[in-house]
Amino acid sequence: MKCKKLAKNLLLFTFKTQKEISMTFCRVEEFYESPLKRLVGQKFDMFTFLDQQMNDKGEIDYFSYWTGFNIPGDSVLKWCELHLQELTPLEHELINNITSKVDVTKPFYIIGAKEKDANTLDHEIAHALYYLNKLYALQMTKAIYNFYKKDRKNYVKIVKALKEMGYNERVIKDEVQAYMSTSTKKELLGKFGISLDNKETNAVRNEFRKVLAKYNTFKK
């Protein structure tokens, strides 16, 4: 695990393997935004996490499916307070980096991606900006509203798909702005069934992308 300070209140964690990133972030991420009531905002050990994520066939795709992670500082601190006495070695390293590199008494954000995964990194930065930068959040809220008004059919598609992917209801708008500002044409079509063949959809997507490009000035 490598930790880089992108801003005074934003930490980027990068990893060489999918195994390491998912094992590091799985519990704190699900504490923040899991759709599962037994996990979100709750104290739980790794056995409970596995039990909740595994289907009746013994299959669990969590560790291979999620390639990027993002958590606001207040959720990190709440999770840490509940789990401080039972952190895994990777979680210990994560928390030690956080407490040594940012002022945890002020708003902060952490994001994670695999090394050289630029698209995922931009997606996670979009989440951080939505939380940390009020002007960015305001402009993205306007873009979301325009999406709903001008291209409602595709707006409904992406919201429905995000819920089916396992996102908590309260982070849906944040995910809309992150996916619309960073997804390729192929990803929009494959994940959400959104085609860019019409002018309205293209215009909506471009609005999201322009806002992110304006504020994503971090040296990665």
**pLDDT at residue 219 tops 90:** no
Band (pLDDT 50/70/90 cuts) for residue 83 is very high
Band (pLDDT 50/70/90 cuts) for residue 17 is very high
pLDDT digits (tens, 9 = 90+) for 164-214: 998 999 999 999 999 999 999 999 999 999 999 889 999 999 999 999 999
Per-residue model confidence (pLDDT) at position 220: 67
**pLDDT at residue 126 tops 90:** yes
One-letter amino acid identity for 96?
Answer: N
> 184 near 124, Cβ under 8 Å?
no
Q: Angle at CA 135, nearest 5°, toward 28 and 67?
A: 30
This prediction's pTM: 0.93
**pLDDT at residue 107 tops 80:** yes
The rounded mean pLDDT for the chain is 96
> 131 near 31, Cβ under 8 Å?
no
Distance CA 72, CA 74 (A): 6
109-114 and 68-72 strand pairing: antiparallel
> 2 near 121, Cβ under 8 Å?
no
Q: What are phi and psi of 17, to 5 degrees?
A: -125, 155
Residue 116's SS3 state is coil
Distance CA 154, CA 183 (A): 14
**pLDDT at residue 93 tops 80:** yes
Strand partners, 69: 112
> 177 near 125, Cβ under 8 Å?
no
Strand partners, 177: none
Domain map of the chain by residue range?
A: 2-116, 133-215
**Residue ranges of E strands in 8-162:** 10-15, 68-72, 109-114
68-72 and 10-15 strand pairing: unpaired
Among 33, 80, 10, CA closest to 174:
33
**pLDDT at residue 74 tops 80:** yes
